[in-house]
Amino acid sequence: MEKFTLMLKKLKKLSLLLLLFPCVLLAEIPVKNTPIPGGIAVIDFETNHSNPKAFYNKVPLYLQHIKDQHWQALVGIPLLTKPGKKTITIQDFSTRTFNFEVKKHTYTEQHITLKGKNKKYVNPNLAHMDRINKERPILSNARKLFSDSSLSNGLFTRPVDGITTSPFGLKRFYNGQARRPHTGLDYAGDIGVAIKAPADGKVILAGEFFFNGNAVFLDHGQGLISVYIHMNERLVKQGQYLKQGDAIGTIGQTGRATGPHLHWGIYLNQTVVSPNLLLGTSNEI
């Protein structure tokens, strides 16, 4: 009985500590400062506040508590950002601003020819447009989700072992028409190869879409979201919590895909960033 009371006391102490310092629940991802379009700016700041907030272009940012008063804001920089001075806002006991410099980075170009049935993805017909327009807000809402606490800890692991066929940020042209730059990393692989969660997270979207085919979106907390596209099978359901290494689905060729591969994308403050930065292999942007 005495032991039990002691344990209860300890538990009370622990919950009091967690109440006083909720920041201890925030886990750290060691991201290298990469202030380029498609990169992540790591901005260090100090505060005594237990729950500061930060914003870039009014979008909430991912914050991590390093030690004592030392905090970091991770800022995803849109691929089409012009180099130059940018500003984030930090809210703690007051509101202040921090400046950082976005540097120039040149991504390579790729020209793709789509033939036969794949042509529908270049100039979709009216029925397809109807479907695309219905799916757009579902996908965009999932990318905009911001949950308050971190769900993952440490660097990510690769979702599959295959070789990279299209790097992140590639400037793409379909049948000569310029398209958005490549918003993820493509890994080649055989149909049916397992795709594994690169970090703990929650399934916030799992479905079949016109361009994305079979897709799954994972929330890792504070606007850090990873997406898995063109899958053959989905093995998870919306609302499910996953541990790093859990199977999400299998490699496929669904939606707008010219061959079996996994398109892996990472969103941070509603912005696509290079997945290599989360893997700690930032030299391969």
- Given the rule CB under 5 A, which residues bind Zn ion? 184, 186, 263
In the bound complex, what is the minimum distance in angstroms from residue 186's beta carbon to Zn ion? 4
112: phi then psi, degrees, rounded to nearest 5: -120, 135
In the bound complex, what is the minimum distance in angstroms from residue 185's beta carbon to Zn ion? 7
Nearest CB to Zn ion, comparing residues 71 and 156? 156
In the bound complex, what is the minimum distance in angstroms from residue 44's beta carbon to Zn ion? 33
3-state secondary structure the chain: CHHHHHHHHHHHHHHHHHHHCHHHHCCCCCCCCCCCCCCEEEEEEECCCCCCEEEECCEECEEEEEECCEEEEEEECCCCCCCEEEEEEEECCCEEEEEEEECCCCCCEEEECCCHHHHHHCCCCHHHHHHHHHHHHHHHHHHHCCCCCCCCCCCCCCCCCCCEEECCCCEEEECCEECCCCCCEEEECCCCCEEECCCCEEEEEEEEECCCEEEEEEECCCCCEEEEEEECCECCCCCCEECCCCEEEECECCCCCCCCEEEEEEEECCEEECCHHHHCCCCCC
Nearest CB to Zn ion, comparing residues 136 and 179? 179
How many whole angstroms separate alpha carbon 285 and alpha carbon 276? 6
In the bound complex, what is the minimum distance in angstroms from residue 259's beta carbon to Zn ion? 11
What token pair was written down for 36?
Answer: 């380029």
Nearest CB to Zn ion, comparing residues 234 and 263? 263
Nearest CB to Zn ion, comparing residues 223 and 265? 265
In the bound complex, what is the minimum distance in angstroms from residue 266's beta carbon to Zn ion? 12
Nearest CB to Zn ion, comparing residues 41 and 142? 142
Nearest CB to Zn ion, comparing residues 62 and 228? 228
Residue closest to Zn ion (Cβ)? 263
Contact 266, 226 (CB under 8 A): yes
Nearest CB to Zn ion, comparing residues 35 and 255? 255
